[in-house]
Amino acid sequence: MGHIVCHRNRQDGAVIVTVSLVLLFLLGFMAFALDFGRLFVVKTELQTAMDSCSLAAAQELDGESTALTRAISAGTTAGNLNNVNFQSATWSSQGKVTATDITFKDAAYAATTVPASARYAQCQHTQSGVQMWLLQSMGAFSGDTAAYQNTKNVMALAVATRASAQSTCPIPVGLKPKTSGTAPNYGFQIGEWVNMVGNGTQSNGEMGWYNLNGSTNASETKTELGEPGYCGTKLGDTLGTPGIQSSVDATWNYRFGIYKNSDPGPSVNHPDYSGYAYTSTNWTNAVPQNAWSGTPAAGSDPSAANFTTKRAAFASYDDTGTSLSAGDGITGLKLNSFKTLATPGTGGQHNLYGFSRRLVTAPVVDASNKVIDYACMFMLQPLSGPTVTVQLEFRGNAGAVDSPCTNNGLAGGAAGPLVPVLVR
């Protein structure tokens, strides 16, 4: 019996060793599954952040002198709106996107710091210190702590550019080519002011109201002019000609940071980065007037400067003013019931709530109201009433490589306005 008991004890010891080895083997599988699964989740979250960063940065690559500054600001803001490391809002305090994570490439995909040459925006970030849960215990078993570190690093990269869209989100204002005007600029000079007829017959070389969904309902125009607008417009679409407008003025003026006392303010109805407006009273330049980037001519208002300058200063419609209660002394317009302005300056509402809302894409239409192309237009003036005529500045074909316009829409078109698209 003693011999039998001793034999069983030896068997029991062998089972314990076998079970321990199996458990260690299973622990290794669990460690790989759990910790590498964690790394995969962090990688996916970080990739989403880099995609957002590069798309937002690419949207600003319009060739202007401030393009890279704006692209870096837009990219860091968009990237950091994402949560990373199991949806941590602080990215587990391991560092978020910074300006050094964003670089630019020219048309030949060579690194560049020249705003006019930048065609691609690249966002690359390494998320360090991703905690390993079980792999570190493998090091304790194996004695190789270097191979099974407590933390790992995860890197993600994305590259975006601007490319032609299949469909896009223009404003419900159509441009008719000048007589005998052909693509790409249809007879217009870059910087030339174009009449937008608020009520009446639109002639060649002018703009007018058009419903992007093809309807003739005037209330639809207001909806399409607001946020988020109407997306899905394509080349070849036939646009509708709405009836007399009655309420588009408020929606139009929000883009200038101008509100009636009863309107929800800038946090709801977003303005552009600047509300500063241009008429022949405060900007006396001859054709092409070029309020976008030109130099004010003699006789212009003392406050006058081009829009790229005003945008950088986050100027209000009244330049540094915050109210129209005392009237408008700069442009000569009479806005009547519109009294409240988005506040100017770096700490003001134009900076806090603004984005690019006055540089717009508008469809170019033929005699049968079909979309034949898209123009990049700069909104110069607010509306003093829903049926008045105002002016916009022609900034070129919206599909040109150097167009300052970037729209939203579905990428993949052969022609049309530029939209940000991932290429890597």
3-state SS string for 133-179: CCHHHHHHHHCCCCCCCCEEEEEEEEEEEEEEEEEECCCCEEECCCC
Question: Which pLDDT score, from 0 to 100, does residue 283 have?
Answer: 98
In order, the DSSP letters of 217-263 are -HHHHHHHHSSS----B-TTPBPB-----SSHHHHHHHTTTEEETTS
The whole-angstrom distance between residue 312's C-alpha and the CA centroid of its chain comes to 17
Mean pLDDT of the chain: 89
Separation between Cα atoms, residue 331 and residue 317, nearest integer Å: 9
- Asked which of 62-76, 100-114, 160-174, 251-265 is least confident by mean pLDDT, the reply is 62-76
Question: Which pLDDT score, from 0 to 100, does residue 1 have?
Answer: 47
pTM beyond 0.85, yes or no? no
Q: What are phi and psi of 388, to 5 degrees?
A: -80, 165
Question: Which pLDDT score, from 0 to 100, does residue 422 have?
Answer: 94
Tell me the angle at which helices 2-58 and 67-80 cross, rounded to the nearest 10 degrees: 150
Position 364 pLDDT exceeds 90: yes
Q: Reduce the DSSP state of residue 43 to 3 states and report it.
A: helix
Separation between Cα atoms, residue 96 and residue 106, nearest integer Å: 26
Mean pLDDT of 228-244: 93
Whose tokens are 């690194």? That residue is: 111
Position 202 pLDDT exceeds 90: yes
- Candidates 55, 12, 126; CA nearest to 421 is 55
344 torsion bin: left (phi>0), alpha (psi -120 to 50), beta (else): beta
Token digits for 395? 């900034």
> Which one is predicted more confidently, 297 or 164?
297
Q: CB neighbours (10 Å) of residue 310? A: 24
